[in-house]
Amino acid sequence: MISTIYIMWLRQIKRYLHSKVRMISMLGQPILFLVALGFGFGSMYQKAGGGNYIEFLAPGIIAMSILFTAMFMGIEVIWDRRFGFLKETLVAPVSRLEIMIGKTLGGATVALIQGILVMIISLFIGFKIPNLLYLPLAIIFMFFIALLFTALGIAIASRLEDMHAFQLIMNFLIMPIFFLSGALFPLEGLPKIIEIPTKLNPLTYGVDGLRGTLTGIANTGLILDLIIVIGVTIIISLIGSYLFSKVEI
């Protein structure tokens, strides 16, 4: 079992490392958000008494980078199915659960690497981490965010055969998840109609946990954030494993 998971994990990593264009393109949007929003709204945020906007924004953009990268890992399931690679994998004498775990861990690792790269870039833009002792906990939050949304992306892709349909569904899900997570603006004082979906959004707790570990400011509390993120990750992973086990080849 461990060998199968390792092979699938390694395959995902190799795909990522071999695609230099993909690596660079995935960094473009986070950098644009950091620079355009960080400096564009920084003065207004500071005048409103919010402090340094880049320090508030950077954890949210790191989470955004992980979210986008992780969710779109599901495309590879559809891609592999279309060109026959998935059939070759599924007919092998190994459990589909092992394949799912390997793919999920591989995609989560790729998304984690992407998030770490964005975090490093944000340091050059003006972001500062006041307490490096919390950095390992921040990495843990990043990993579980990556694991959660990689599993979600694979779960959705397991029920689809059209790559264009997957992209439409992803955009329909990703943008509300991102914008209602508190990544770009504080969640205090929101109308009830917006406050409710933000509390139901698992990324909200991932962003809050990242912000707490990297800046020392957390609204919900780091322990509760971590419990919720891990709990939702387990649930989505179980659902994804079931749906992947039903993939028809």
Q: Tokens 């689809």: give the residue.
A: 160
115 contacts 109 by C-beta, under 8 angstroms: no
Length of the chain, in residues: 249
pLDDT classification of 219: cutoffs 50, 70, 90: confident
Q: Is the pLDDT of residue 146 over 60?
A: yes
Q: Tokens 């599924």: give the residue.
A: 90
71 contacts 152 by C-beta, under 8 angstroms: yes
* Greater pLDDT, 153 or 41: 153
Number of separate domains in the chain: 1
Q: Which of 64-68, 147-151, 169-173 has the lowest mean pLDDT?
A: 169-173
The pLDDT score that the predictor gives to residue 126 is 84
Q: 179-215 in b/e burial notation, b at 16+ Cβ within 10 A?
A: bbbbbbbebeebeeeeeeeeeebbbbbbbbbbbbbbb
Q: Which of 12-26, 110-124, 204-218 has the lowest mean pLDDT?
A: 12-26
**Measured distance between the N- and C-terminal CA atoms of the chain, rounded to whole angstroms:** 22
Query: Looking at beta carbons, which pairs linking 86-89 to residues 24 or more positions away fall under 8 Å?
Result: 86/247, 86/249, 87/249
Domain carrying residue 70: 2-245
Average pLDDT over residues 162-177: 80
